[in-house]
Amino acid sequence: MAIDARQGENLTQIIPETEKIRYIHHPSVVFREEEDNWALLFHADTGKGFGLDPTGIFIWNRLDGKHSGEDILDEMKRKFIDMPPEAGEHVKLFINEMKRQGLIQPAEIDKS
Protein backbone atom coordinates (compact mmCIF):
# COMPACT_ATOMS: atom_id res chain seq x y z
CA MET A 1 0.00 0.00 0.00
CA ALA A 2 3.09 2.13 0.49
CA ILE A 3 2.05 5.24 2.40
CA ASP A 4 4.40 5.34 5.36
CA ALA A 5 2.95 5.97 8.77
CA ARG A 6 4.80 7.99 11.39
CA GLN A 7 7.08 5.86 13.51
CA GLY A 8 6.30 5.72 17.20
CA GLU A 9 2.57 6.35 16.83
CA ASN A 10 0.08 3.80 18.07
CA LEU A 11 -1.67 3.04 14.81
CA THR A 12 -3.77 0.30 16.35
CA GLN A 13 -6.11 2.97 17.73
CA ILE A 14 -8.45 2.80 14.78
CA ILE A 15 -11.39 5.16 14.57
CA PRO A 16 -14.32 2.73 15.03
CA GLU A 17 -16.41 4.27 12.24
CA THR A 18 -13.67 3.79 9.63
CA GLU A 19 -15.31 0.61 8.37
CA LYS A 20 -18.63 2.37 7.72
CA ILE A 21 -17.53 5.83 6.56
CA ARG A 22 -17.37 6.41 2.85
CA TYR A 23 -14.50 8.60 1.75
CA ILE A 24 -13.75 10.72 -1.27
CA HIS A 25 -10.47 12.07 -2.58
CA HIS A 26 -9.47 15.49 -1.31
CA PRO A 27 -9.99 17.92 -4.21
CA SER A 28 -6.38 19.16 -3.99
CA VAL A 29 -4.88 15.69 -4.48
CA VAL A 30 -3.59 14.72 -7.91
CA PHE A 31 -3.41 11.01 -8.80
CA ARG A 32 -1.07 9.79 -11.53
CA GLU A 33 -0.72 6.12 -12.39
CA GLU A 34 2.67 5.11 -13.74
CA GLU A 35 3.50 2.44 -16.32
CA ASP A 36 5.03 0.17 -13.66
CA ASN A 37 1.63 -0.33 -11.93
CA TRP A 38 2.50 2.12 -9.17
CA ALA A 39 0.97 5.55 -8.73
CA LEU A 40 1.84 8.92 -7.31
CA LEU A 41 -0.38 11.12 -5.19
CA PHE A 42 0.50 14.78 -4.87
CA HIS A 43 -1.28 17.01 -2.37
CA ALA A 44 -1.14 20.50 -3.91
CA ASP A 45 -2.03 22.23 -0.62
CA THR A 46 0.77 20.62 1.40
CA GLY A 47 3.32 19.93 -1.34
CA LYS A 48 3.68 16.33 -0.16
CA GLY A 49 3.93 13.35 -2.48
CA PHE A 50 3.08 9.73 -1.80
CA GLY A 51 3.60 6.45 -3.64
CA LEU A 52 0.93 3.78 -4.06
CA ASP A 53 1.58 0.16 -4.94
CA PRO A 54 -1.06 -1.85 -6.86
CA THR A 55 -2.99 -2.65 -3.66
CA GLY A 56 -2.99 1.01 -2.68
CA ILE A 57 -4.26 1.90 -6.16
CA PHE A 58 -7.06 -0.67 -5.80
CA ILE A 59 -8.14 0.97 -2.53
CA TRP A 60 -7.68 4.55 -3.83
CA ASN A 61 -9.90 3.87 -6.84
CA ARG A 62 -12.71 2.77 -4.53
CA LEU A 63 -12.57 5.80 -2.28
CA ASP A 64 -15.27 7.38 -4.39
CA GLY A 65 -17.99 8.06 -1.84
CA LYS A 66 -19.77 4.82 -2.80
CA HIS A 67 -17.59 2.28 -0.95
CA SER A 68 -16.92 2.01 2.77
CA GLY A 69 -13.76 0.41 4.14
CA GLU A 70 -15.82 -2.70 4.76
CA ASP A 71 -17.01 -2.72 1.12
CA ILE A 72 -13.44 -2.36 -0.13
CA LEU A 73 -12.22 -5.25 2.04
CA ASP A 74 -15.09 -7.47 0.87
CA GLU A 75 -14.22 -6.71 -2.76
CA MET A 76 -10.55 -7.45 -2.10
CA LYS A 77 -11.46 -10.81 -0.57
CA ARG A 78 -13.42 -11.70 -3.70
CA LYS A 79 -10.73 -10.51 -6.11
CA PHE A 80 -7.46 -11.59 -4.49
CA ILE A 81 -6.49 -15.15 -3.64
CA ASP A 82 -4.98 -16.08 -0.27
CA MET A 83 -5.42 -12.75 1.50
CA PRO A 84 -3.75 -12.85 4.93
CA PRO A 85 -6.02 -12.69 7.99
CA GLU A 86 -4.57 -9.31 8.97
CA ALA A 87 -5.55 -7.72 5.63
CA GLY A 88 -8.60 -6.02 7.18
CA GLU A 89 -6.44 -4.31 9.77
CA HIS A 90 -4.01 -3.19 7.05
CA VAL A 91 -6.85 -1.69 4.99
CA LYS A 92 -8.10 0.22 8.05
CA LEU A 93 -4.62 1.49 8.85
CA PHE A 94 -4.08 2.54 5.24
CA ILE A 95 -7.37 4.45 5.07
CA ASN A 96 -6.69 6.12 8.42
CA GLU A 97 -3.20 7.14 7.29
CA MET A 98 -4.61 8.61 4.07
CA LYS A 99 -7.13 10.54 6.16
CA ARG A 100 -4.41 11.74 8.53
CA GLN A 101 -2.34 12.95 5.58
CA GLY A 102 -5.35 14.87 4.23
CA LEU A 103 -5.57 12.79 1.06
CA ILE A 104 -9.19 11.77 1.63
CA GLN A 105 -12.18 13.17 3.46
CA PRO A 106 -15.46 11.66 4.64
CA ALA A 107 -18.28 11.70 2.12
CA GLU A 108 -21.00 10.40 4.41
CA ILE A 109 -21.56 7.94 7.24
CA ASP A 110 -23.39 4.70 6.55
CA LYS A 111 -26.14 4.67 9.19
CA SER A 112 -27.11 1.02 8.58
Predicted pLDDT at 6: 41
Predicted pLDDT at 32: 97
Task: Return d(Cα 46, Cα 101) in angstroms, integer.
Answer: 9
The reply to whether the predicted model has a pTM over 0.85 is no
Domain annotation covers residue 32? yes
Domain that includes residue 45, residue range: 17-102
Domain annotation covers residue 52? yes
Q: Which of 39, 36, 22, 32 is nearest to 105 (CA)?
A: 22
pLDDT-derived band at 98 (thresholds 50, 70, 90) equals very high
Looking up residue 63, the CATH number of its domain turns out to be: 3.90.930.60
Domain annotation covers residue 1? no
Please count the structural domains in the chain.
Answer: 1
Task: Return d(Cα 84, Cα 56) in angstroms, integer.
Answer: 16
Domain annotation covers residue 30? yes
- Predicted confidence (pLDDT) at residue 80 exceeds the cutoff of 90: no
Domain annotation covers residue 4? no
pLDDT-derived band at 19 (thresholds 50, 70, 90) equals low
Domain annotation covers residue 9? no
